[in-house]
Structure formats: C-alpha cells, structure tokens
Amino acid sequence: MRAPALRRGRAGFTLIEILVVLVIIAVLTTIAVLSVGVLGQDRGLDTEGERYGDVLAAALEQAQLEGRDFGIRFGATRYEVLTYVTRRQRWESVIDDRLYAPHELPAGISVRLEIEGKLVQFEEDRPGVLRQPQVMLYSSGDASPYRLSLVREGSELAWTAEGAADGSIRVTHPGQERAP
C-alpha cells in the first residue's frame, strides 16, 4: 500500500508564517508605543525635567556642604547654575562642573517661570550687564519659591516643578493632572 501523496497546491498559511507576521506586528506596536509614549506622556519633557531635578538637587546639596549660595538663571530655552562670589560681590557661572554649565533645551521645548504668581519675562544676556539668577538656592538649604514649567510647543503637555521655600520640589509629569 502506498502512502497518500501530499497535495502541493494547498491553500492557507503555515504556523511559521502566521508567527512571523505576529512578531512583526508586535515589534511595530512596541516601536509606536515607545516613540509616542504611554497615555500621552512626552519622554523628551520627562528627560529634561529629570535633568533639571538632578541639577537642582546637586546645587542645593553643594550649597549646604560648601556654605555658599547658588542660583539658577533661566532663559526662554535654557538655564544655568550661578554661584555668588563674595570677594567679587557678583554672580558668576560655575566653570568647574559640567552639570552646572549652561544647558540649552532641545528644539520645541521652552521655559515658563513664575515667581510669586507672576510670569517672568526673560531678557537676553548683554555684554557688560551682570547676570542675576531668578531662583536662589541658599547655603541654609532654603530656596526662593517658584513654579517652573518645561512646555512642549504646539501642545498642552508640560513638565512642572513647584519649588518651596524649604528647598523641596513637587513635580507634575506631562499628561499628569495636578493635585489640588
């Protein structure tokens, strides 16, 4: 007795072909979710916000350890850490630490700063004019209260930090509702 011959022209897909298509769909879905973010979050804003938080925490700690005052100067799309040099009686850039160097925000992200409930209008740095920080970080561990938002242009998404007088900070991530 002869074994039945396999049909060569059968219709349909093999299990391997279906699995390959499912893997391709899974990879494309993962890429889409990671690039857009989950629940409307903005990874670029989160990354910049986390960097700012790290800079702030380091400057507050260094102010307390070294007993000198620091400040943060903001521009429309940048910020930098300054320190008060007593012997020169002026604010100067911190040149020996890359973390405190002027930081330009990526294209499409801008700064919104409120101090005492008033929106700060940023001025361009001019030669011969001493730069003053808008946010102070004192050697006592205290800080000037403020509300900083890193805003994605063309969107309502923002990373927000509310700094309190005791140096603490409360953060709201993009797409997250503010607590009352």
Which residues constitute the domain of residue 46?
A: 41-172
- Rounded Cα–Cα distance for residues 164 and 180 (Å): 16
Q: Evaluate whether residue 15 is within a structural domain.
A: no
The mean pLDDT values, 10 residues at a time, for the chain of 180 residues are 59 87 90 60 81 92 92 93 91 88 91 93 78 92 93 86 90 64
Supply the CATH number for residue 127's domain.
3.55.40.10
pLDDT of residue 45: 85
With respect to residue 90, please indicate whether it lies within any of the assigned structural domains. Answer: yes
Number of folded domains that form the chain: 1
Whole-prediction pTM? 0.71
Q: Is residue 47 part of a domain?
A: yes
Is residue 89 situated within a structural domain?
Answer: yes
**C-alpha 84 chain-centroid distance:** 26
Tell me what pLDDT residue 180 has. Answer: 42
pLDDT per position as a tens digit, 103-127: 999 999 999 999 999 999 988 777 7
Is residue 16 situated within a structural domain?
no
Asked if residue 178 belongs to a domain, the reply is no
Cβ atoms of 162 and 147 closer than 8 Å: yes
